[in-house]
């Protein structure tokens, strides 16, 4: 049982580290998006590869940050079901 607790603690530590790193990816995403808008509307230059990088960064941000959100119980829930549930049922809903 102690091995499982150690494994869970290790996974939590990895999720914590990944969440802190990926939070900076959100800032990079905003800066790159601003650069795309600036290039397109001010300079008249479009860069498809940079626009595709925004799509990829957005996907990576959501996929990788899911573990961090689960660690801090920060996922969005539909309160119609979750708010009225008893604690035993809440444990089964992630």
- pLDDT tens by residue, 42-91: 999 988 998 899 999 899 898 888 888 888 877 776 776 667 778 887 77
16-48 confidence digits (pLDDT tens): 999 899 889 899 999 999 999 999 999 999 889
Task: List phi, psi (to 5°) of 93.
Answer: -95, 125
Whole-structure pTM value: 0.65
Domain that holds residue 55: 2-92
Residues 68 and 18 sit within 8 Å (Cβ to Cβ): yes
Q: How many domains does the chain have?
A: 1
Give the integer Cα–Cα distance in Å for 67 and 19. 8
Given a cut of 70, is residue 94 above it in pLDDT? no
Kindly list the distances between the CA atom of residue 56 and the CA atoms of 51, 60, 63, in Å, as whole numbers in the listed order: 9, 6, 11
pLDDT score for 85:
78
């Amino acid at each position: 049982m102690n091995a499982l607790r150690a494994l869970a603690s290790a996974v939590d530590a990895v999720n914590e580290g990944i969440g802190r790193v990926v939070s900076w990816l959100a800032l990079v995403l905003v800066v790159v998006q601003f650069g795309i808008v600036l290039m397109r509307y001010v300079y008249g230059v479009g860069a498809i590869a940079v626009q595709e990088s925004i799509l990829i960064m957005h996907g990576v941000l959501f996929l990788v940050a899911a573990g961090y959100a689960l660690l801090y119980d920060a996922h969005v829930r539909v309160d119609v079901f979750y708010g009225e549930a008893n604690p035993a049922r809440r444990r089964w809903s992630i």
